[in-house]
């Protein structure tokens, strides 16, 4: 038998031996012999979608300190949840997270369903999260296929079909590899292997428990996997952001509508965003009349489906300024408590920098 056709059970066993020696210690992960907490596993999986572990760790710790149980999260006002999430991006997830906590608290007495099917019925839990939580929290034989796992599997089996078309085949391969014993550890081992050894560039094949059966490594083509369809990126959109500071330092903000992009998050007022936005007319979109001044450098942000460039306008306004409908002045000291997503934090910071008085001459 060639090494490439080594039985699947042996591959799983090799991976688990590797995992027992090299598993990562993560704040949401149970230590060997401990029972995982489904609530922590679920929150971490939602936070980790398209975000790195390093970025998630501090958010996770703060989130757990603030909402230590699913009941506490369910009972929290939505502004508190959005505020604790601000900066992580993909805000519909925070809304779904909150809705899911309420569903678990109200429909399941605060206990997460322990099967993939049961989990999938909850808001915001798709195939990946259901598989990951079922496997990690309940040791169910479920496939949890994220980007890391896709990379490892397409290399291990030299899957040439590009993503996303190859997803069903990858899932099939993961299911075929799943061991009867310790499927939860297997899922986490696969994630760890993808994150630490089988990295996108320069994978450390010499340290990999699958170096012998790996078909891509044998062919020396590992870095060409996973194969992908060329990306279509949207056109850059342009717009203007307005940072109005009152004499007492309070800044004009508003909460975005609950539905849609960055729904429920807080922003400094902006114009519409479009590919053909004409900056010359930007002042007509300002939230109030003032001596608006444009800062030198625009703020850039890349959303999943389009890049955005916002020109930032700043103005100092008097105390007696009428507050435009649907907006509010937030005191300077409380700005950090507002749920600004990154794009508006950048605009706010650029505006505050421009409004800062020049240092007085010595």
State the catalytic residues.
45
Least Cβ distance, residue 2 to ligand SF4 (angstroms): 16
Cα separation, 11 vs 7, in Å, equals 7
> Is residue 238 helix, strand or coil?
strand
Cα separation, 56 vs 93, in Å, equals 14
Select the residue interacting with ligand SF4 from 187, 198, 241, 350 (CB under 6 A). 198
Q: Per rule CB under 6 A, is residue 11 in the interface with ligand SF4?
A: no
Q: Per rule CB under 6 A, is residue 210 in the interface with ligand SF4?
A: yes
CB nearer ligand SF4, residue 82 or residue 208: 208
Angle between helices 167-177 and 147-156 (to 10 degrees): 80
Least Cβ distance, residue 233 to ligand SF4 (angstroms): 28
Select the span of 180-188, 214-222, 243-251, 268-276 touching ligand SF4 (CB under 6 A).
Answer: 214-222
Q: Are 200 and 153 in contact (CB under 8 A)?
A: no
Dihedral, 349, 350, 354, 359 alpha carbons, nearest 10: 60
Select the residue interacting with ligand SF4 from 48, 214, 265, 343 (CB under 6 A). 214
Cα separation, 67 vs 81, in Å, equals 9
Of 57, 49, 101, give the one whose Cα is nearest residue 75.
101
Select the span of 63-71, 148-156, 234-242, 314-322 touching ligand SF4 (CB under 6 A).
Answer: 148-156
12-31 footprint of ligand SF4 as x/- string (CB under 6 A): --------------------
Site for ligand SF4 in 155-174 (CB under 6 A): 155-156
Dihedral, 160, 164, 169, 173 alpha carbons, nearest 10: 90
Q: Per rule CB under 6 A, is residue 203 in the interface with ligand SF4?
A: yes
Q: Per rule CB under 6 A, is residue 91 in the interface with ligand SF4?
A: no
Structure tokens at 303: 């959303």
Q: Per rule CB under 6 A, is residue 216 in the interface with ligand SF4?
A: yes
DSSP 8-state code for residue 90: -
Select the residue interacting with ligand SF4 from 44, 96, 222, 270 (CB under 6 A). 222
Cα separation, 317 vs 327, in Å, equals 15
> How does DSSP assign 164-187, residue by residue?
TTTHHHHHHHHHHH--SS-HHHHH
Q: Per rule CB under 6 A, is residue 36 in the interface with ligand SF4?
A: no
Least Cβ distance, residue 53 to ligand SF4 (angstroms): 18
CB nearer ligand SF4, residue 224 or residue 281: 224
Q: Are 172 and 184 in contact (CB under 8 A)?
A: no
Structure tokens at 84: 């604790």
Q: Per rule CB under 6 A, is residue 105 in the interface with ligand SF4?
A: no
Query: In this structure, is the dihedral angle defined by the CA atoms of residues 227, 228, 230 and 235, taken in order, positive or negative?
Result: negative
Least Cβ distance, residue 159 to ligand SF4 (angstroms): 12
CB nearer ligand SF4, residue 152 or residue 251: 152
Select the span of 39-47, 179-187, 201-209, 322-330 touching ligand SF4 (CB under 6 A).
Answer: 201-209
Least Cβ distance, residue 200 to ligand SF4 (angstroms): 10
Of 239, 238, 241, give the one whose Cα is nearest residue 314.
241
Q: Per rule CB under 6 A, is residue 6 in the interface with ligand SF4?
A: no
For strands 299-302 and 307-317, give the pairing. antiparallel
Polymer length of the chain: 362
Q: Per rule CB under 6 A, is residue 217 in the interface with ligand SF4?
A: yes
CB nearer ligand SF4, residue 18 or residue 67: 18
Of 9, 13, 14, give the one whose Cα is nearest residue 212.
14
Q: Per rule CB under 6 A, is residue 211 in the interface with ligand SF4?
A: yes
CB nearer ligand SF4, residue 74 or residue 152: 152
Q: Per rule CB under 6 A, is residue 56 in the interface with ligand SF4?
A: no
Structure tokens at 220: 């020396």
Residues that bind ligand SF4 (CB under 6 A): 152, 155-156, 197-198, 203, 205, 208, 210-211, 214, 216-217, 222
């Amino acid at each position: 038998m060639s090494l490439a056709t080594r039985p699947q059970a042996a591959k799983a066993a090799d991976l688990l031996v590797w995992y027992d020696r090299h598993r990562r210690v993560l704040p949401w992960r149970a230590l060997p012999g401990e029972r995982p907490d489904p609530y922590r596993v679920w929150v971490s999986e939602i936070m980790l979608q398209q975000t790195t572990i390093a970025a998630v760790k501090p958010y996770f710790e703060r989130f757990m300190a603030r909402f230590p149980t699913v009941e506490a999260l369910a009972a929290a006002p939505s502004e508190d949840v959005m505020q604790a999430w601000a900066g992580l991006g993909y805000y519909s997830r925070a809304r779904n997270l909150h809705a899911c906590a309420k569903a678990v608290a109200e429909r399941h007495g605060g206990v997460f369903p322990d099967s993939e099917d049961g989990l999938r019925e909850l808001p915001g839990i798709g195939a990946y999260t259901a598989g990951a939580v079922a496997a990690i929290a309940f040791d169910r034989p479920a496939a949890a296929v994220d980007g890391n796992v896709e990379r490892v599997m397409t290399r291990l089996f030299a899957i040439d079909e590009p993503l996303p078309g190859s997803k069903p085949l990858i899932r099939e391969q993961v299911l075929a590899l799943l061991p009867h014993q310790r499927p939860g550890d297997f899922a986490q081992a696969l994630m760890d292997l993808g994150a630490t050894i089988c990295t996108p560039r320069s994978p450390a094949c010499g340290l990999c428990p699958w170096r012998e059966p790996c078909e891509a490594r044998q062919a020396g083509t590992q870095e060409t996997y996973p194969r992908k369809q060329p990306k279509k990126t949207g056109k850059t959109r342009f717009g203007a952001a307005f940072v109005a500071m009152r004499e007492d330092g309070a800044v004009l903000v508003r909460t975005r509508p609950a539905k849609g992009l960055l729904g429920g998050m807080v922003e400094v007022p902006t114009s519409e965003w479009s590919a053909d936005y004409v900056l010359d007319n930007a002042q007509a979109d300002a939230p109030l009349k003032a001596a608006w001044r444009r800062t030198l450098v625009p703020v850039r942000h890349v959303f999943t489906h389009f890049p955005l460039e916002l020109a930032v306008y700043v103005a100092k306004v008097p105390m007696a300024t009428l507050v435009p409908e649907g907006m509010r002045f937030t005191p300077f000291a409380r700005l950090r408590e507002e749920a600004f997503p990154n794009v508006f934090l950048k605009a706010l910071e650029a505006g505050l920098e421009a409004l800062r008085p020049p240092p007085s001459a010595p």
